[in-house]
Structure 1
Amino acid sequence: MPRVSESHRAARREQILAAGRRCFTRNGFHATSMQDVIAEAGLSIGAVYRYFGSKQELVTAIAEDVIGGADGVLAGLAREHPDTGLAEVLEHALEFVDAESGPDGALRVAVQVWAEAMRDESLAAFVKDVYSRFRGHFVGFARRAVASGELPPDADPEAVASVLFGLLPGYALQRILTGGPDRATFLAGVRSLIGLQLR
């Protein structure tokens, strides 16, 4: 019997994850069974369970993809453009939210992950770890903003990071639940409230 290549395994895993995301977006975590995901993926029971032994494993893997995507945006920005100002950092983060908050967007699953994390300790630990790392990127940008004079010398980078991080779920929820505001309106509100020189 021929060996299955690594690329084939990765493609099959992604096929199952995509099916899970579609099912969870459409019906929610609790109303979706593994049988639903198996049917959506068009695979055999054995093929799906070879990659994910339970619905919880599938939920966690999807959460890693969804939340990890947002973390990756800021990690990439910090790595490739470490001198980016806070206004531009926020703009990049909100662009990600816009791209992922539509009907098929990953953030619709993220909202369910947040809710599920309230009752699942292992998922809660994962979310806490990733979001702490995510907020840590903002701390790094805020420290550089203090050093460059973009923020006053007595600004607390941890406090600034907490506020910037907090803006993202608020914007995402509004976009998902009400369809607005658009990014320009939101950024105008941020500029009025906290005085960032946003484009």
Structure 2
Amino acid sequence: MPRVSEAHLAARREQIIEAATRCFARNGFHQTSMQDVIREAGLSVGAFYRYFSSKDQLIRAIAEEKVGVIIATLDRLMRVEPVPPLRAVFAEILEQVDHNLGVDGPVRIAVQVWGEAAHDPTFAELIGGIYGRIRDAAVALAARVRDAGQLAPDADPAAIGAVVVGLIQGYVIQRVLTGRVDRDVYLAGIEGLTARP
């Protein structure tokens, strides 16, 4: 029997993650069965369970993959010379939020996971770890922005990082729940908050 390549395994795993993302975004976690995801992915039960054995594993994989995009963006912006203005940083992150917002988009799942985290320790641990990584990246970027003179010299990067995460989450909530917040207006508000007199 021929050996399955790593590329094939990775593509199949991604196929399952995308199918689960669509199902969870459309119907929510509790209304989506593993059979729904298997059917959406177009796989046999055996092929599916080779990659994931539970809904929690799927949710963790989706969250890690999609949040990884934001972390990668922050890491890349850390290396840009000169350091980009805060508005440009937020513009890029919020653009990615909008890109992943569609009816079947993973951003909608984020709000579901936040709700589950309020009463499920497994989800709370997942969220704590993921957003801890985003906060760490935001703190490092805030220190660099401060050192570049875009913030007051005594600005606390840890405090700024916490607010950055909150602003991103606030945008997600407004986009998912009301759909009426305009990215440019939101960015103008951030710019107004961060403007130095």
TM-score (normalised: structure 2): 0.91
State the partner residue of 1:146. Answer: 146
Q: Does the CA contact (< 8 Å) of 1:84 and 1:141 recur in 2?
A: no
State the partner residue of 2:87. Answer: 87
Change in 2 beyond 3 A, CA 1:101/1:81: farther
Q: Distance in 2 between matches of 1:175 and 1:15?
A: 26
Gaps of 5+ in 1: none
State the partner residue of 2:33. Answer: 33
State the partner residue of 2:72. Answer: 72
In structure 1, give the amino acid aligned to 2:134: F
In structure 1, give the amino acid aligned to 2:14: E
State the partner residue of 1:48. Answer: 48
Deviates more, 1:13-22 or 1:157-166: 157-166
**How far 1:42 moved relative to its partner?**
1.3
Change in 2 beyond 3 A, CA 1:105/1:82: farther
In structure 1, give the amino acid aligned to 2:10: A
Q: Distance in 2 between matches of 1:63 and 1:10?
A: 17
**How far 1:187 moved relative to its partner?**
1.5
Q: Distance in 1 between matches of 2:134 and 2:104?
A: 23
Q: Distance in 2 between matches of 1:70 and 1:166?
A: 14
Q: Distance in 1 between matches of 2:84 and 2:140?
A: 11
Deviates more, 1:172-181 or 1:26-35: 172-181
Change in 2 beyond 3 A, CA 1:188/1:52: same
State the partner residue of 1:57. Answer: 57
State the partner residue of 1:4. Answer: 4
Change in 2 beyond 3 A, CA 1:169/1:152: same
**How far 1:20 moved relative to its partner?**
0.7
Deviates more, 1:105-114 or 1:72-81: 72-81
**How far 1:196 moved relative to its partner?**
6.3
Deviations 1:150-184 (A, max 9, x none): 21112111112221221111111111221222111
State the partner residue of 1:156. Answer: 156
Q: Distance in 2 between matches of 1:31 and 1:82?
A: 48
In structure 2, give the amino acid aligned to 1:14: E
Gaps of 5+ in 2: none
Q: Distance in 1 between matches of 2:196 and 2:41?
A: 46
State the partner residue of 2:123. Answer: 123
Moved over 4 A (4+): none
State the partner residue of 2:13. Answer: 13
Q: Distance in 2 between matches of 1:6 and 1:33?
A: 28
State the partner residue of 1:192. Answer: 192
For this pair of structures, how many residues does the alignment match?
197
Deviates more, 1:115-124 or 1:63-72: 115-124
**How far 1:80 moved relative to its partner?**
4.4
Q: Distance in 2 between matches of 1:2 and 1:187?
A: 53
TM-score (normalised: structure 1): 0.90
The RMSD of aligned alpha carbons is 1.9
In structure 2, give the amino acid aligned to 1:78: M
Q: 2:189 matched to 1:177?
A: no
Q: Percent identity?
A: 52
